[in-house]
Structures are given as structure tokens and as C-alpha cells.
């Protein structure tokens, strides 16, 4: 039986895994369909996108594996929220440096804010108050 806190963890981790694998395995496709920045057929940006995808894949697989065991969900929550918070900040810095809001910058902020909302839902389900409320409702 899935615990309520595992639903947002699973949802966010599967999204992170799909995106990470796409960036690693076919970065040109990701860029062509505007799911990642343009690579302009250059090897260095392609390698950087693959590295980013590798990091995202690693975080997703680690989270899913530890979550299945029920290991330290608050630590997993902290790791994932920190990564998505920094990714949103990086996109905001890029918008500032470009001097305009474009598709990539706005998408980077929006996707990471959506991910942060999933981590917020997970945090609410992990809170002691929520656990007490569920226990009282089932009594």
C-alpha cells in the first residue's frame, strides 16, 4: 500500500527521471522540441546538457529507491526541493542576464516551481499535524 506522502515523491521523481534520461540519451531531440536550450550543433553545450540530465537521473533514481524503502523521506524531500529551488534560481538569473523573459527562461522557472509545489504537497503529507489528523479521522 502506498503511503500518501509517496504520491508526490513518485510523480516528481518520474518526471525528473524522464527529463534526465531525455537530456542524457538524446539531447539534440530535447533541444529540437524546445524541451532544452538550443545546442546549435556544438559539442560542449550537448555535453553540459547530458551532464545535467545525468544529475537529474541520479537524483530521481536515488529518490525512488530510498522512497520505496521508506528511508528518511524528509531528507529526500530536502534534497529534491533544494535542487528544484536552485534550478528555478538559475533560470531567473538567466532571464536577468538575457534582459528579457524568453521561452527557455520562463519554462525553467515554471517547471521548477511546479516541482516545488509537488515537494510542498509531500511536506504537508509528512507533517506531524497531518499524521495526527489522519489518525483522528480513522479512529
pLDDT band of residue 129 (cuts 50, 70, 90) is low
52 SS3 class: helix
Between 19 and 137, name the one with better pLDDT. 19
Q: What is the mean pLDDT of the chain?
A: 90
DSSP string of 95-126?
HHHHTS--HHHHHHHHHHHHHHHHHHHHHHHH
Domain-wise residue ranges, the chain: 6-128
Is pLDDT larger for residue 62 or for residue 69?
62
CA atoms of 106 and 47, how far apart (whole Å): 23
pTM: 0.85
Amino acid at each position: 500500500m502506498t503511503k500518501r506522502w509517496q504520491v508526490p515523491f513518485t510523480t516528481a521523481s518520474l518526471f525528473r527521471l524522464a527529463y534526465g534520461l531525455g537530456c542524457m540519451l538524446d539531447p539534440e531531440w530535447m533541444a529540437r522540441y524546445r524541451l532544452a536550450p538550443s545546442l546549435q550543433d556544438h559539442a560542449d553545450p550537448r555535453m553540459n546538457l547530458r551532464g545535467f540530465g545525468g544529475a537529474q537521473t541520479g537524483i530521481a533514481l536515488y529518490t525512488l529507491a530510498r522512497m520505496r524503502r521508506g528511508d528518511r523521506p524528509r531528507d529526500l524531500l530536502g534534497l529534491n526541493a533544494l535542487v528544484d529551488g536552485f534550478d528555478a534560481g538559475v533560470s531567473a538569473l538567466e532571464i536577468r542576464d538575457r534582459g528579457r523573459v524568453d521561452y527557455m527562461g520562463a519554462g525553467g522557472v515554471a517547471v521548477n516551481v511546479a516541482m516545488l509545489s509537488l515537494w510542498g504537497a509531500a511536506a504537508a503529507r509528512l507533517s506531524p499535524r497531518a499524521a495526527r489528523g489522519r489518525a483522528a479521522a480513522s479512529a
